C-alpha cells in the first residue's frame, strides 16, 4: 500500500502484463486504483479487476482487517473497477455498496446479487467519521453509472475513469514519472475511451469546477497532485470536451501494391512543402488506438485505402468502424486510394468518414492501378484546401480555469 495523504492509502493492482484493454493497446500496462480511507467507518473507493483481488487484499491487510470495511464505493460498474467487490464482500459481509442509481442496476446485472446497496445522487453526502464524502454523477464519463467521489477535508477528487491513463509503474504520482508521459497517456485514454462524450465531459467539468481540488486520484494510472499538473490535465479535458484540436493534419492509410502508399507519400511531401504540420500513419505499422490519439490532436484527417473485391481494405474498414463510434467532431478530411477496375467501393470510405462526423473538404482522390507523377501532382489542389482550412481554424486558447484551487 502507498499512503497518499493522512489516512488515505492506494491499495490498487498494477497490471504490468496488460497489452490490450478491450481493443485499446496498452504497451505500458495499466493500474486499477483502489483507495482505502481510514476513518471511523473505513471506506474503500473502487476495487480492481478480478485477477488483481489478492494483490489488493494484501495491500488492504497492511492497514486494516478487511472485515472492518464499512463502505465500498463503486464509482463505476465496469469490471475493471467492480470486478473484486464480490470477493471483498465475502470478507466484509456487513459492508454497504455505495453507488449511483444506474450503478445499482449495473452491479445487479453483472453480479446477480442483492448486496446492501446505498444509492446516492449528485450532492448526496456520506459522513464516515472526521471526513465527509460527497458524490457527483457523471453519466457517460465513462458509462451511464459513472460518478465521482470527493473528500472535502482532503480536497481530493476520485473521478474514476476521468483523468486516468493506462500506465503501469511503481510510482503513483504523475510528477514522479514525468508529467509529459502522464499527459500523453491521458490523451490516448481520452481519445479511445471518452471522446464520444464531449458534452457530458463538459457538464462534469462544470459541476466539478465548483470544488477546491488539491489532488485528483483517477482509477487508472497516475495521481495528479501538483497544482500545475492539475491545471494542465483539467485544461486539456476542456479542450478535448469541446473537440478542439491543433493546426495539424494526419494522413492514415493502408496499401496493397504500394499505389495507395504512393498517394499518401505525395500528400505528405506536398504538406511539408506547404509547411503543414502533418503525420503519416500506416495501419501496417501503427496501432489503431495510437492513431485515434493523433486524430484527436489533428484538424484534418485524410484516409486512404486500396480496393479489394469491390470493398475498402479490411484494416481500413476496421479502423473506420472504430472511428465512427468515437465520433471526433469539428474535423475536416477527404479520402484517397487506388483501385483496379471498379471504384464503387470508395463510396463506403467516404460514408464512413462522414459517419464519423468528419466534414469532407474535397471529392475523393482515386487512381487506377499505379498513379503517375502527373496524377500525383494533381494532389496540390487538395493540399491547398487543407492549408486554407488550417489557416481559418482558430488556435486553442486555454481559458482561465473555473477550478478554485489553493
Round to whole Å and give the CA distance between 171 and 179.
12
- Please confirm, yes or no, whether 161 is among the known catalytic residues: yes
Report the site for ligand FEO in 4-33 (rule: CB under 6 A). Answer: none
Q: Is 244 in the site for ligand FEO (CB under 6 A)?
A: no
Instruction: Establish whether 166 is a catalytic residue.
Output: no
The alpha carbon dihedral of 61, 64, 69, 72 has a sign of negative
Write b or e for each residue in 143-179: b if 16 or more Cβ atoms lie within 10 A of its Cβ, otherwise e. Answer: bbbbbbbbbeebebbbbbbbbbbbbbbeebbbeebeb
Q: Would you tell me how many other CB atoms lie within 10 Å of the CB of residue 113?
A: 11
CB of residue 186 to ligand FEO, shortest distance in Å = 13
Is 324 marked active-site?
no
Tell the smallest beta-carbon distance from residue 161 to ligand FEO (Å): 4
State the DSSP code for 122: T
Calpha distance 11→182 (Å, rounded):
20
Is 363 tagged catalytic? no
Measuring CA to CA, which residue among 403, 24, 350, 395 is closest to residue 194? Answer: 24
Options 7, 32, 46, 142, the catalytic residue: 142
Is 372 exposed, middle or buried, given 0-12, 13-18 or 19+ CB atoms closer than 10 A?
Answer: exposed
Name which position in 5, 49, 59, 81 contacts ligand FEO (CB under 6 A): 81
- H helices within 29-143, ranges in order? 53-61, 79-82, 85-91, 101-111
Annotation marks residue 258 as catalytic = no
Q: In this chain, which of 220, 225, 239, 403 binds ligand FEO, going by CB under 6 A?
A: 220
Residue 76 is a catalytic residue: yes
| Interface with ligand FEO in residues 85-144 (CB under 6 A) | 142-143
The DSSP code sequence of 53-72 is HHHHHHHHHTTS-GGG--EE
Select the residue whose beta carbon is closest to ligand FEO and give its number. Answer: 78
Record the cell numbers describing residue 3, joined without a space: 499512503
Q: Which residues pair with 224 in a beta bridge?
A: 216
Active-site position among 76, 166, 167, 403: 76
Binding mask 49-78 for ligand FEO (x = CB under 6 A): ---------------------------x-x
Nearest distance, CB of residue 219 and ligand FEO, angstroms: 5
Among 161, 261, 294, 324, binds ligand FEO (CB under 6 A): 161
What is the smallest separation between the CB atom of 103 and ligand FEO, expressed in angstroms?
12
| Catalytic site residue from 22, 90, 373, 395 | 22
In angstroms, give the least distance from the CB of 404 to ligand FEO: 28
Residue from 7, 46, 80, 154 that binds ligand FEO (CB under 6 A)? 80
The span from the CA of 270 to the CA of 318, in Å, is 28
Regarding 84 and contact with ligand FEO (CB under 6 A), the answer is: no
167 binds ligand FEO (CB under 6 A): no
Q: Identify any residues that bridge with 119 across adjacent strands, giving them in sequence order.
A: 99
Which residues are near ligand FEO by CB under 6 A? 76, 78, 80-81, 142-143, 161, 219-220
Q: Which residues are catalytic?
A: 22, 76, 78, 80, 142, 161, 189, 220
Amino acid at each position: 500500500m502507498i499512503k497518499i495523504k493522512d489516512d488515505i492509502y492506494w491499495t490498487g493492482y498494477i497490471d504490468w502484463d496488460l497489452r490490450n484493454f478491450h481493443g485499446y493497446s496498452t504497451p505500458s500496462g495499466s493500474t486499477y486504483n483502489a483507495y482505502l480511507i481510514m476513518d471511523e467507518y473505513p471506506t474503500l473507493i473502487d476495487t480492481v479487476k478480478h485477477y488483481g483481488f489478492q494483490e489488493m487484499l494484501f495491500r488492504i491487510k497492511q492497514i486494516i482487517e478487511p472485515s472492518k470495511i464499512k463502505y465500498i464505493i463503486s464509482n463505476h460498474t465496469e469490471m475493471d473497477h467492480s470486478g473484486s467487490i464480490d470477493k471483498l464482500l465475502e470478507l466484509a459481509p456487513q459492508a454497504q455498496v455505495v453507488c449511483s442509481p444506474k450503478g445499482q442496476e449495473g452491479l445487479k446485472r453483472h453480479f446477480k446479487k442483492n448486496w446492501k446497496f446505498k444509492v446516492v445522487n449528485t450532492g448526496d453526502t456520506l459522513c464516515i467519521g472526521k471526513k465527509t464524502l460527497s458524490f457527483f454523477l457523471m453519466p457517460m464519463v465513462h458509462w451511464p453509472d459513472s460518478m465521482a467521489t470527493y473528500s472535502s477535508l482532503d480536497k481530493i477528487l476520485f473521478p474514476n475513469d476521468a483523468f486516468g491513463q493506462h500506465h503501469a509503474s511503481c510510482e503513483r504520482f504523475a510528477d514522479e514519472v514525468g508529467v509529459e508521459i502522464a499527459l500523453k497517456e491521458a490523451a490516448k485514454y481520452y481519445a479511445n475511451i471518452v471522446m464520444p462524450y464531449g458534452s457530458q465531459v463538459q457538464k462534469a467539468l462544470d459541476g466539478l469546477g465548483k470544488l477546491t481540488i488539491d489532488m485528483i486520484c483517477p482509477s487508472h494510472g497516475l495521481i495528479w497532485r501538483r497544482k500545475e499538473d492539475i491545471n494542465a490535465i483539467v485544461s486539456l479535458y476542456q479542450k478535448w470536451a469541446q473537440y478542439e484540436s491543433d493546426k495539424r493534419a494526419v494522413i492514415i492509410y493502408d496499401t496493397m501494391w504500394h499505389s495507395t502508399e504512393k498517394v499518401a507519400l505525395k500528400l505528405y511531401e506536398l504538406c511539408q512543402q506547404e509547411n503543414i504540420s502533418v503525420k503519416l500513419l500506416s495501419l501496417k505499422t501503427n496501432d489503431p488506438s495510437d492513431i485515434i490519439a493523433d486524430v484527436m490532436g489533428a484538424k484534418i484527417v485524410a484516409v486512404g485505402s486500396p480496393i479489394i473485391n469491390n470493398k475498402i481494405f479490411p484494416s481500413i474498414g476496421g479502423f473506420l468502424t472504430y472511428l465512427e463510434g468515437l465520433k471526433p467532431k469539428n474535423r475536416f478530411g477527404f479520402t484517397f486510394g487506388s483501385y483496379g477496375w471498379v471504384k464503387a467501393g470508395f463510396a463506403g470510405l467516404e460514408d464512413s468518414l462522414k459517419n464519423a462526423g468528419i466534414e469532407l473538404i474535397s471529392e475523393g482522390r482515386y487512381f487506377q492501378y499505379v498513379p503517375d507523377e502527373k496524377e500525383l501532382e494533381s494532389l496540390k489542389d487538395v493540399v491547398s484546401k487543407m492549408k486554407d482550412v488550417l489557416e481559418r481554424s482558430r488556435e486553442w486558447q486555454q481559458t482561465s480555469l473555473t477550478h478554485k484551487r489553493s
